[in-house]
Amino acid sequence: MSLDIVKLAAFAKEQGFIYPGSEIYEGIAGVYDYGPLGVELKRRLADLWWRAMVQLHENIVGLDSAILMHPRVWEASGHVEAFHDPMVDNKVSKKRYRVDTLIEEYAQRLEEKARRETEKKLRKKGAPLHRLEEEVQQQKDFQRAQLLKDRLSQALARKDWAALTSLLQEEQIPCPESGSTEWTPVRQFNLMFSTHLGPLAEEAQEIYLRPETAQGIFVDFPLVLRTGRLKVPFGIAQIGKAFRNEIVARQFIFRMREFEQMEMQFFVQPGTEAYWYEVWKEKRLRWHLHLGLKPELLRFKDHEHLAHYAQAATDIEFAFPFGFRELEGIHSRTDYDLSRHAAFSGKRLEYYDETQAQSYVPYVIETSVGLDRLILAHLSQGYTEEMAPTAEGGEELRIVLKIHPLIAPIQVAVFPLIRKEEFVQKARLLYEELRFFFMSAYEEKDSIGRRYRRYDAKGTPYAITIDGQTLEDETVTIRDRDTLQQVRVPMSQVRAYLGERLEVAHWLRTL
């Protein structure tokens, strides 16, 4: 399984889709660059998202907020708290845990055990079970659990990691995996990147690179509302970079330290959020399917443990080479964010609803796609090794990137069948015309078969060849990447032929 992702990464690098970051300096873990083909793919996917979300919805507008935001934003959003997890490693099992969940779960197990035993005791004595809650307070495991939780919350409040280290030690908290009680010291992981605002390090204020783009939308909510003449329900969409200091950034571009999100926050009247949640689940899934992701490789996965801001949450998961993983999150965020920002900023972040004749803090439905993950999904689904016929009548392995024509970095390639002046001239002429409309390429080197294969690997859906017949009747062949079938089309109709297949409007109309 994981071998496939290594192979895909090598392919992506070789073809110029994705390079390891800073490679000549031996690389930098979890950071990747988009090469000439990758940047096209990325721009196209982002563009199709933008058009489907903003251009096609009269009640959705765009935004491009800054990566740097006021530090209080991240206190209000809950990230300062949630993203500073103290962690420990177990020396025997080599597993890493968040200290708080480790201790809480242990305490919970103790409580459950206490309840079971107290219940058994009560049954034995024939005492009424309604006294269970009262009796269990006296049980020693239960009391120990309470003590653990107290000490945990005290240490967390003081950010006293040494105290947590000794708590683990003194209370002999076992590793759920190995049962071992040998722990490394507790260390804090800060998942947010910090930097300094102001050039003088001593005087500068520490600020964060945004860990998600959503907060820019919430913070600008009153401004967009005022200038956009918007009425609930309405949405604000944004594409942009976000940064997370992942403990381990792995699996190629699946989890990167610097990544790009495409988010849309949809503001609705409280009470209607369940309806809109369903609407957006359906719309977003349809968008992915319309771009050619296979239904059997997509699924919804509802969250069992909800984040601090969420009322309901589901993921659109994609079957990556390493398994089903989150591609897009659709969350019902309630009024959490706007209310928090209202509280922290002291500003009123309410909406006056004329039809209701009242003000309220709108509820929010969020759709959030990882653009890099989306790219990985299309690359991994599209990467195909298959047998193809050879000139000698045999079969040979062909590597072809079967991605949707609309997102292909190079949409059409033009070849003269042979490198003779008449062929070359005509081919150049056609290429130079087509490039006004499509991302085009021209190639005259190597045999025709070889050129086809080269562009197959780049995902180019159409290849046009100028042959002997072109010189006689001005027709060319257009060859399809996936079927290898050719059609003969008059030179004058090539643009229309390609337009039907590569025009974004057609795609939007059928969405």
d(CA 58, CA 317): 28
The tokens for 214 are 């959503």
**Which residues from 147-186 bind RNA, rule CB under 7 A?**
184
Q: Of 110, 192, 417, 430, which one interacts with RNA (CB under 7 A)?
A: 417
Q: Of 29, 68, 289, 429, which one interacts with RNA (CB under 7 A)?
A: 29
Measured in whole angstroms, the distance separating CA 409 from the mean position of its chain's CA atoms is 20
- Name the residue with tokens 């509820």: 363
β strands within 70-203, DSSP E: 84-89, 96-98, 187-190, 194-197
* Closest CB to RNA among residues 147, 418: 418
* Closest CB to RNA among residues 448, 511: 448
The tokens for 326 are 């989150």
d(CA 242, CA 474): 51
d(CA 254, CA 215): 22
**Which residues from 67-96 bind RNA, rule CB under 7 A?**
87, 89, 94-96
* Closest CB to RNA among residues 96, 144: 96
Contact map string, positions 428 to 447, toward RNA, x by CB under 7 A: -----------------xxx
Q: Is 448 in the site for RNA (CB under 7 A)?
A: yes
Evaluate whether 492 touches 475 at the Cβ level (below 8 Å): no
Three-state secondary-structure class, residue 425: helix
**Which residues from 340-359 bind RNA, rule CB under 7 A?**
none
* Closest CB to RNA among residues 200, 248: 248
Q: Is 389 in the site for RNA (CB under 7 A)?
A: yes
d(CA 236, CA 276): 15
- Angle of helix 36-50 relative to helix 371-382, nearest 10 degrees, comes to 110
**Which residues from 283-322 bind RNA, rule CB under 7 A?**
307, 315, 322
* Closest CB to RNA among residues 38, 329: 329
Residue 243, amino acid:
F
Q: Is 391 in the site for RNA (CB under 7 A)?
A: yes
Residue 447 CB partners (closer than 8 Å, separation 6+): none
* Closest CB to RNA among residues 23, 75: 23
Q: Of 46, 274, 418, 489, which one interacts with RNA (CB under 7 A)?
A: 418
Question: Minimum distance from CB of 117 to RNA (Å)?
Answer: 29
Q: Of 50, 208, 218, 252, which one interacts with RNA (CB under 7 A)?
A: 252
Evaluate whether 253 touches 32 at the Cβ level (below 8 Å): yes
Three-state secondary-structure class, residue 13: helix
**Which residues from 456-485 bind RNA, rule CB under 7 A?**
465, 467-468, 476-477, 479, 484-485
* Candidate segments 72-80, 112-120, 418-426, 499-507, binder of RNA by CB under 7 A: 418-426
Q: Is 497 in the site for RNA (CB under 7 A)?
A: no
Question: Minimum distance from CB of 125 to RNA (Å)?
Answer: 41
**Which residues from 187-246 bind RNA, rule CB under 7 A?**
191, 212, 244, 246
The closest alpha carbon to 96, from 215, 231, 246, belongs to 246
Question: Minimum distance from CB of 200 to RNA (Å)?
Answer: 28
* Closest CB to RNA among residues 22, 359: 22
Burial class for 379, CB neighbours closer than 10 Å (0-12, 13-18, 19+): buried
